Amino acid sequence: MDNKRFYITTPIYYPSGKLHIGHAYCTVATDAMARYKRLCGYDVMFLTGTDEHGQKIEGKAKEAGVTPQQFVDDIVTAPGGVLDLWKLMNVQYDRFIRTTDGYHVEAIQKIFREMYDKGDIYKGSYKGKYCKDCEAFWTESQLADGKCPDCGREVHDAEEEAYFFRASKYADRVRDLLLNTDFLEPRSRVHEMVNNFIDCEGGLQDLCVSRTSFTWGVPVDFDPGHVVYVWLDALFNYMTALGYQNERYSDLEKFWPADVHFIGKEIVRFHAIYWPAFLMSLDLPLPKKVYGHGWLLLDGGKMSKSKGNVVDPYLLSERYGVDALRFFLLRTFPFGADGNFSNELLIQTINTDLANDLGNLVSRTTAMAEKYFGGKLPEAKQSNPELDQELGAMAVSLRNRYEEQMERFQFQNALEEIFKTVQRANKYIDENAPWALAKDMEANGVRLGTVLYNLLETVRICTILLIPFMPESCGKIFAQIGADEAARTWDSAWHFGILPEDVEVHKGENLFPRIDMAKELEELERIQEEARRAALPAIEIEPQTEEKVDFDTFCKSDFRAVKVKDCQRVKKSDKLLRFTLDDGTGVDRQILSGIAKWYAPEELVGKTLVAIVNLPPRKMMGQESQGMLISAVHTEKGEECLNLLMVDDKIPAGAKLC
């Protein structure tokens, strides 16, 4: 039975904000893999969860004015939170761990102590650049222009007492693991790890595994004031969730070592170097594989909340259905490499593969079965080896080709194999021209029934293999083609002729309607822009400048009340308005101002404004501007706003402002 069990994990997510489509990518891939293994008859454990400790969360909770526990509880369980997203994406995990769960916290304390007792964790001091405001240590390379990367303030050299893990002791074993086994995939990531972190100058450094500068973490029970470093705490989730060092679960023997940890490429270092080293320290078996997938990029850059360039999975699945979205993620990008997300690509994939190829095949086949046979095919069959053989051979051998790709986590290739078969089946329709056969049902009815039966069988096999990617739609297709439970199994996926000869077909809803690309892109852009704006702060005001101006210099600026005698748009300029102003001198003053976006010229005539009148004249669009009008500026929902300073009309033109 042992070889029929499969343990797969996703990274546990930081519940520090809303998850986006990039986060969903890894979890959907893991779900597809878990469903595939279940389909193959494995006893599967699919673990996911949340990584809830650390300074970042503590800081965010403080900002929000709640305790860190309240903060994470909200993000994990609230509508639109982590659990909700997995439900939306139809992620069928078997266990969900939160690192604040009591059993995990206790287990981490035991693990820390055991490593300490063994001498693999020792007390030392942590040196680095410290930001007092953020209470954070940074390394030189993390600084932004020599300043704190979080708040931009000055940092200074500081030292704090801390515990260290003796990673250096395991350098040789980890190097050997990486270079001489298939532990880390894709292989392209191996040399980067070995060269940058093990065979680098100074070799593999011991890792600081405790902190005293904040409190939101697992306390080191034998040294109050220290909390366990978040990565040591987080990595062991893969074992505590099975019952390691706790009584809550008892699946360790059954499921450890894990078959594969799916993770994003930026956390390969922790999983491929420190994680095995921790396990070596405790003499525990190592996971069989770590797979570092690529990133989903947006406009060539990583999606991140701080950049504001995230894509909302709720919006997309509401518009196209969860299955289409799941399918798109795994069909379009090779799992090991980065992929550039775009709305256009998403719609194109849905239209080409789902609407044109698969959707058409299913709807044409079921529609013809209804039209020509009232849904029930005749029992008698009449093969035509010349026309039938290629499709049949392709369909029964599909499972093997698919399996080979799935076992290597090459979802894109596995789907490519399925769609080659779908396309072949569509071609088979054209080759057999059922509509021509139908013209003489007496002569060709049996052959027509056979053609449709072959199509149904091909659809059935493809649909079985699509279950991991689009579970819900597959259920609907099975219902339409009359496939009962026995005709939906892995074992039945390499046999042709499983559906009863007189199978009953029900043409159902169109599963993947075609999308009007141009219209949809426009609509999506509008919605996404609206959402982006809604997420922006209501009002932003430029911070006050710290630079001082001396009083005498300030007094040289001559501010005057001016009355608008005339105001016109400047020809060929979208921005400029030309003001003719009474400044009290008896001679008109002309000022040009770039405010056409905010004001119609006629609404300003007669108003009393404020101008600075002793600036040197400037030419704009060939016309002279003798001064500058004063306005108030701020940003509202990302949009620049401007209001001319208008004063009481009682104030005479030319009055000095001081």
Kindly state the tokens that stand for 76: 């994990």
DSSP single-letter state for residue 376: B
Question: Interface with ligand MSP includes 501 (CB under 6 A)?
Answer: no
**In the bound complex, what is the minimum distance in angstroms from residue 76's beta carbon to ligand MSP?**
12
Q: Which of 263, 240, 306, 312 is nearest to 528 (CA)?
A: 312
Region binding ligand MSP by CB under 6 A among candidate stretches 105-113, 258-266, 352-360, 457-465: 258-266
**In the bound complex, what is the minimum distance in angstroms from residue 262's beta carbon to ligand MSP?**
8
Between helices 441-466 and 385-407, what is the axis angle to 10°? 10
User: Pick from 121, 171, 241, 303: which binds ligand MSP (CB under 6 A)?
Assistant: 303
CB 143 within 8 A of CB 157: no
Question: Interface with ligand MSP includes 295 (CB under 6 A)?
Answer: yes
Beta-bridge mates of residue 646: 609
In Å, how far from its chain's centre is CA 116? Answer: 37
User: Nearer to ligand MSP by C-beta: 230 or 653?
Assistant: 230
Q: How many residues bind ligand MSP (CB under 6 A)?
A: 20
* Per-residue x/- track, 43-82, ligand MSP (CB under 6 A): --------x-------------------------------
Strand (E) or helix (H) holding 211:
strand 210-211
* Per-residue x/- track, 201-240, ligand MSP (CB under 6 A): ---------------------------------xx-x---
DSSP single-letter state for residue 297: E
Contacts of 305 (CB under 8 A, 6+ apart): 17, 18, 20
Distance of alpha carbon 128 from alpha carbon 557, whole angstroms: 48
User: Nearer to ligand MSP by C-beta: 302 or 476?
Assistant: 302
Question: Interface with ligand MSP includes 299 (CB under 6 A)?
Answer: no
**In the bound complex, what is the minimum distance in angstroms from residue 602's beta carbon to ligand MSP?**
50
Distance of alpha carbon 237 from alpha carbon 251, whole angstroms: 13
In Å, how far from its chain's centre is CA 183? Answer: 25
Question: Interface with ligand MSP includes 107 (CB under 6 A)?
Answer: no
**In the bound complex, what is the minimum distance in angstroms from residue 381's beta carbon to ligand MSP?**
49
Beta-bridge mates of residue 455: none
User: Pick from 14, 138, 469, 496: which binds ligand MSP (CB under 6 A)?
Assistant: 14
User: Pick from 6, 8, 22, 327: which binds ligand MSP (CB under 6 A)?
Assistant: 22
Q: What is the CA radius of gyration of the chain?
A: 33
Q: Which of 650, 631, 649, 651 is nearest to 641 (CA)?
A: 631
Sites for ligand MSP among residues 267-286 (CB under 6 A): 267
Q: Which of 504, 503, 502 is nearest to 379 (CA)?
A: 502
Question: Interface with ligand MSP includes 313 (CB under 6 A)?
Answer: no
Distance of alpha carbon 59 from alpha carbon 400, whole angstroms: 51
Question: Interface with ligand MSP includes 302 (CB under 6 A)?
Answer: yes
User: Nearer to ligand MSP by C-beta: 303 or 511?
Assistant: 303
Question: Interface with ligand MSP includes 466 (CB under 6 A)?
Answer: no
- Got the DSSP string for 504-563? B------SS----HHHHHHHHHHHHHHHHHHTS-SEE-PPPP-----HHHHHT--EEEEE
* Per-residue x/- track, 344-383, ligand MSP (CB under 6 A): ----------------------------------------
**In the bound complex, what is the minimum distance in angstroms from residue 281's beta carbon to ligand MSP?**
17
Question: Interface with ligand MSP includes 25 (CB under 6 A)?
Answer: yes
Question: Interface with ligand MSP includes 296 (CB under 6 A)?
Answer: yes
Query: Shortest Cβ contact with ligand MSP: which residue?
Result: 264
For the chain, the residue count is 658
Question: Interface with ligand MSP includes 189 (CB under 6 A)?
Answer: no
Greatest alpha-carbon span in the chain: 107
DSSP single-letter state for residue 575: S
Region binding ligand MSP by CB under 6 A among candidate stretches 295-303, 401-409, 448-456, 486-494: 295-303
Distance of alpha carbon 230 from alpha carbon 11, whole angstroms: 13
Region binding ligand MSP by CB under 6 A among candidate stretches 7-15, 312-320, 345-353, 551-559: 7-15
Q: Contact positions toward ligand MSP, by CB under 6 A?
A: 11-14, 22-23, 25-26, 51, 234-235, 237, 263-264, 266-267, 295-296, 302-303
